[in-house]
Amino acid sequence: MSRTKPVEYHFFPSNVDQIFQSLGKERLLKLFKNMLSIRNFEIRAESAYQHGKIGGFFHAYIGQEAIQTAAVEVMGKDQWWSTSYRCHALALLLGATPNELMAELYGKATGNARGRGGSMHFYTDKLLGGFGIVGGQIPIAAGAAFSLKYLDKKGVSVCFLGDGAVAQGTFHETLNLASLWDLPCIFVIENNRWGMGTAVNRAISVEPIAEIKAPSFGMKGYTFDGMDIFNCYAGFKHVFEEVLATSRPVIVEVVTERFRGHSISDPALYRSKEALQHCIERDPIQLMLNVLKDKNVLTDEQFEALDKEQKEIVVQAMKYAEESPWPDAITLGEDVFAKETSKEAFP
């Protein structure tokens, strides 16, 4: 069984001109550069994978760049962040360097997680992970929000999850707890239309997801256009201010579509060429570029130079990863446990 009727979304209202005005040229260019950085990182890493430099699972964020780029720009790095295994972009946005991330993908000692986590497990001081179990990060993100409240700190916990995770028990249990306990948590469902190869309308019983589910938990739900960074920016700004003011959790559904298969080994045969072409027409980078060109912020030549610059950074990161040492086998057993500090408790 699957639904065939188109979903009726109520997108958060936004005005490109207004956002353009308030952000200014420099911040806009920074946002654009961040998206290019993610795109270039993913494309080069994919090729490294094809060349056998990277192993394991690999899930590219290509097509979804606007979402996390806008969210991090709005809320800043100093919140708690968590996401699924599709985690390369968020780590980059939160300040992990292309070098350490590429080295992690290569399994090197200089990697972001010392070569222990790989593609699905990237971290920063405020990024609780890349989580490999679908929906595993959801209660953990609520725990981070719980800590903020317990320690009387200002801030929010932002949890990204895919549409596939909406079917997991953690989603429902966590929303109940977060609402019950007034946790400052923003749950962002990146609906990229596919849970691996299963279309969202064959897996999730209702859409729009946030608009329908949020009220059942006594929460507010919003829908953003994930291909439009201006809409994402406006939406996240509103939601961030609301959660800071109310300490009430919210659910956001961001409608997007990944341009690749679920993972690098998935040729996405379940999606027609026409359907893929249709979503690529709304490439978030191209859409933002169009606006920047319209407003005379960026020329085609400048764009190409910027893109080349980002590509160079990733090429350098690949060189760094290639030249980095493998983890010494002697470190294999390190960090299974955190260091104990009480000699009496743990001699």
Partner 1 sequence: MTKQLIEIREALRQAIDEEMTRDSRVFILGEEVAEYNGAYKVTKGMLEKWGSKRVIDTPISELGFAGLAVGAAMTGLRPICEFMSFNFSFVAADQIISHATKMHYMSGNRFSVPIVFRGPNGAAAQVSSQHSHNVEAIYSNIPGLIIISPSNAYDAKGLLKSAIRCNNPVLFLENELSYGDKMEIPVGEYLVPIGKARIVSEGKHLTLVAHSRMVKVCQQVVEILSARGIKIELIDLRTIKPLDIATVAESVRKTHRCVLVEEGHVFGGIAAEVGFEIIEHCFDFLDTPLKRVCQLETPMPYSKVLEAETMPNKERVLRACEELLH
Report the site for partner 1 in 24-63 (rule: CB under 8 A).
Answer: none
Q: Is 335 in the site for partner 1 (CB under 8 A)?
A: yes
Closest approach of partner 1 to the CB of residue 168, in Å: 9
Smallest CA-to-CA distance from 242 within 188, 177, 184 is with 184
Binding to partner 1 by CB under 8 A, coded x per residue (else -) over 67-86, reads: -------------x------
| Distance from the Cα of residue 227 to its chain's centroid | 13
Q: Which of 53, 121, 293, 311 binds partner 1 (CB under 8 A)?
A: 121
Q: Is 347 in the site for partner 1 (CB under 8 A)?
A: yes
Give 243 or 285: the residue with its C-beta nearer to partner 1: 243
Smallest CA-to-CA distance from 165 within 153, 176, 156, 173 is with 173
Region of 296 (left: φ > 0; alpha: ψ -120 to 50; beta: rest) is: left
Tokens of 290: 């169009």
Smallest CA-to-CA distance from 165 within 184, 147, 192 is with 192
Report the site for partner 1 in 158-177 (rule: CB under 8 A).
Answer: 169-170, 173-174, 176-177
Tokens of 15: 């005005």
Q: Is 143 in the site for partner 1 (CB under 8 A)?
A: yes
Closest approach of partner 1 to the CB of residue 58, in Å: 17
Binding-site size for partner 1 (CB under 8 A) equals: 50
DSSP state of 164: G
Distance CA 223, CA 212 (A): 11
| Residue ranges binding partner 1 (CB under 8 A) | 80, 111-117, 121, 123, 125, 128-129, 131-133, 136, 138-144, 146-148, 150-151, 157, 169-170, 173-174, 176-177, 180, 334-342, 344-347
